[in-house]
Structure 1
Amino acid sequence: MAAVTNADIPVSPTEVRVINRLSESNGTIKIQPAAPADQVSLVQYDASFRDIVGASPTHSLLLSTAGNSNNPFFHEACVFIPEHDELYITSNLLQAVSTANFPTILISRVKLLRTDRLSGDNSVHTVQWAKLRPPPGIDMPNGGVNYKDGILFCAQGSPRSGTGGIYYMPRRTPPVPMVTNFHGRDFNSVNDVVVAKDGSIWFTDPCYGNEQDFRQKPKLPNLVYRFNPENGDLRVVADGFGRPNGICFSPDEDVVYITDTDAFHGDGNKDSTRSATIYAYDVITRGSAPFLANRRVFAYAAVGFPDGIKCDIFGNVYSGCGDGVEVWNPSGTLIGRILVPGGVANFCFGRDGEMFLCAEQSLWRLQLAQSTKGALLGI
């Protein structure tokens, strides 16, 4: 597929609205204004959010298909490869051109060309966007994470049995299957993945593939797993979810955060009485192995449901929601919101305080304080 170049990308100052959550008249919580339709903006509820934002936040629209295509190319994964200054992003379902074929998912590779990092200007002035068909084995890719010299992709699988799982995609070599079944039973449709410091791979497995008509009937509950690639040990670490989705560790890996998007079903139906919750677990050791204990509600999304989730190096928790990205401190207090038109499914941190925000038909870059770094890469 032909690559697309977008050059001379403008950078705009980002509005920060400081909001007192309580009405001065009667002490009730105020209804918050909606995000502008054509730009990113920030809402600050707590003074600590100013440290994240910095003195002069900016944003830029790197790519957009609005007006040209309805295809949601910028949906999930959002993996930043610092060695090559590239982003890898998976699309949402793209409709097949023939009724004889199933919908498909493509991977976008976005090359970032910057102004002058040595001068302190980290802005992206040009992007080169290539749409890639997933390599064999990575059927219907969704979430992803940095791994060795490449990426771990979540393959949701196809209608055929024996497909789906976690695949390692090294740079310029064929993908390697890491784990593709639970003791002979196919996974439902693996959604998101994170790698611990000990090298173990943790991932979620909801039933969205079956609900979206490209995956067989589930053979397992909606579970969260831990896989040890050193000895092949695979075990369930958490259950009791409607639809487990995003997963991340706190910077010290003492806590695991998992989002439950049970309020949104794969067939498009929504039920606002179901879970749109971030759960926190303590990571404890029993018999020399990690376990998840003390499940508790960490936060409930203010708008929509929490999808992709990540921490910064200070322990603040970020999750893509219906309004953009909502940000909580480690105590579960909502300290600010990054308002993005149409909301955000997933995102990632880049270099020196930048974030990349996937909004289905749009890919945004947000520049925050240079001290704001993601816990995953710490850059």
Structure 2
Amino acid sequence: MLHYKITQATAALFLAVAASAQSESAQSAQVPVVDLSAPYSTNEIPGNRSFDAPFFVEDDTFPRIQIFDEKFKQIVGDEPTIHSIAKSANDSFNAFHEAPLVRGDLVYFSSNAGSGGSGPDRNNRLLHVNLTEIEELHGDGNITVTYNEPSDRIQMINGMAPYLNDSMIIATEGRENAGVEPGLFRYQPETNTTTPLLTSFYGRRFDSLNDLKIHSSNQVIFVDSLYGFLQDFAPFPELPEMVYAFDMDTGKVRPLATDFVHPNGIALSPDESVAYVTDTGAQNGTVNTHLPASIYAYDIKNEDGFLTFNNRRIFAHALTGVPDGIHCDDEGNVWSGVGDGVAVWDKRGELLGLINIGTTSANFVLVGDGLIIVLAETEMFAVRLDSSLNPAKLHYAE
């Protein structure tokens, strides 16, 4: 595995130096917990909050945890904390962006591209941090951020999922100026080996692959959206924006769902009976609040490995911004990164609570033992819940 310690001298990455001395000195108190679960506690909030303004009632200090339902108190527990554990040294570089996953003691994730956002001439970065260092940090600080150098076939990582033998499946958006199309790849970090799995829909170019989950039938369920085109590193789309299933045993690929504005994240319930797809159509370079900032649910029918999505229905609508990365915990609750942090709903679509960072959190990972790592573009947060209902690790079929 090729990797480099990120330092101030690595100016192209614009990341802060790890400051181990801060681990002992930077202590912070328990995060405020605001109980909004009382009957009618939010029914008279003035309707003047903008699309991307963080949600608050009276007190607008962040971060904080907001409870909308009594059940969220069990998840949060008595002593939750939220710590800033890494920052970009340059606010124009979104180092902590997408595709987080846990492999052993490492948390992998992808940056946005280059030094100033996604673009035609800059690939993004595959990075990781060490959970041991996070556990040793008892307050705010800057942990060590390390980056990998996978194959040049890996252009614009936007989704990752853990797979067999400590490998991972990566969904890429591709990059036209590099001559690389979007696709699915298997990556083995220990050997720095990349294996292409799927690079077109029967010879037709995908738009820009976004998120994925792996079904127990050894199929990759992935989202293809046109954000690569909207951000100028992909050509005009050749296909509709759809959710697909790719069978890694047979090599077959077929669409499962369509009729989105811009599909983005995808999650499966723990028993794989329901799929959740986020639609971020309200935000595509400009804001149009008449378009979806929503999560849709589908019943999954599995006939001997032939999967279909059925009974499409609205599941939730983000309070702030759009729902992006989405995951289920072992209890079937649905978590999504939104415009001000991470929102949580139960399996019925009842809003339980909000981990309100005060800024957009494109994605996150439920590590286990109450630890959640949140990617907030220029900053990474460690959320620790003292929980009787442990949000545990993400449900993945490995």
* Kept after mapping to 1: 8 A contact 2:84/2:140: no
Q: 1:116 to 1:142 in 2, by over 3 A?
A: closer
* Kept after mapping to 2: 8 A contact 1:112/1:124: no
Q: Does 1:6 align with 2:6?
A: no
Q: Does 1:199 align with 2:226?
A: no
Q: Does 1:90 align with 2:110?
A: yes
Unaligned residue ranges in structure 2 (runs of 5+): 7-16, 47-54
* Kept after mapping to 1: 8 A contact 2:213/2:396: no
Letter of the aligned partner of 1:28 in structure 2?
Answer: N
Unaligned residue ranges in structure 1 (runs of 5+): none
2:127 is matched with 108
Match of 1:231 among 245, 250, 255: 250
Secondary structure of the equivalent of 1:307? coil
Q: 1:214 to 1:29 in 2, by over 3 A?
A: same
Give how far 1:157 is off.
Answer: 0.5
1:28 is matched with 43
Map 1:225-304 onto structure 2 (within 5 A).
225-265=244-284, 268-286=285-303, 289-304=306-321
Q: Does 1:356 align with 2:378?
A: no
Q: Which shows bigger deviation, 169-178 or 9-18?
A: 9-18
Give how far 1:93 is off.
Answer: 2.8
Letter of the aligned partner of 2:185 in structure 1?
Answer: Y
Q: Does 1:217 align with 2:236?
A: yes
> 1:296 & 1:260 partners in 2: Cα distance?
12
> 1:2 & 1:202 partners in 2: Cα distance?
34
Q: 1:53 to 1:11 in 2, by over 3 A?
A: farther
> 1:135 & 1:89 partners in 2: Cα distance?
16
Q: Does 1:141 align with 2:157?
A: yes
Match of 1:63 among 61, 65, 86: 86
Map 1:38-49 onto structure 2 (within 5 A).
39-49=62-72
Give how far 1:38 is off.
Answer: 7.7
Q: 1:237 to 1:123 in 2, by over 3 A?
A: farther
2:322 is matched with 305
Q: Does 1:76 align with 2:98?
A: yes
Q: Does 1:128 align with 2:141?
A: no
Give how far 1:212 is off.
Answer: 0.7
Letter of the aligned partner of 2:92 in structure 1?
Answer: N
Secondary structure of the equivalent of 1:50? helix
Give how far 1:339 is off.
Answer: 0.2
Letter of the aligned partner of 2:108 in structure 1?
Answer: Y
Secondary structure of the equivalent of 1:342? coil
Q: 1:50 to 1:377 in 2, by over 3 A?
A: farther
> 2:258 & 2:66 partners in 1: Cα distance?
34
Q: What's the Cα RMSD here?
A: 2.7
> 1:5 & 1:226 partners in 2: Cα distance?
40
For normalisation by structure 2, the TM-score amounts to: 0.85
1:314 is matched with 331
Give how far 1:197 is off.
Answer: 1.7
* Kept after mapping to 2: 8 A contact 1:6/1:62: no
* Kept after mapping to 1: 8 A contact 2:77/2:385: yes
Give how far 1:168 is off.
Answer: 1.0
For normalisation by structure 1, the TM-score amounts to: 0.89
* Identity rate, percent: 31
Letter of the aligned partner of 2:302 in structure 1?
Answer: T
Give how far 1:14 is off.
Answer: 1.6
2:184 is matched with 166
Which structure has greater strand proportion? 1
Letter of the aligned partner of 1:55 in structure 2?
Answer: D
> 1:89 & 1:54 partners in 2: Cα distance?
28
Q: 1:104 to 1:328 in 2, by over 3 A?
A: same
How many pairs are equivalent?
Answer: 366
* Kept after mapping to 2: 8 A contact 1:114/1:123: no
* Kept after mapping to 2: 8 A contact 1:226/1:237: yes
Q: 1:94 to 1:35 in 2, by over 3 A?
A: farther
Give how far 1:40 is off.
Answer: 2.6
1:328 is matched with 345
* Kept after mapping to 2: 8 A contact 1:279/1:295: yes
> 2:238 & 2:267 partners in 1: Cα distance?
25
* Kept after mapping to 2: 8 A contact 1:21/1:29: no
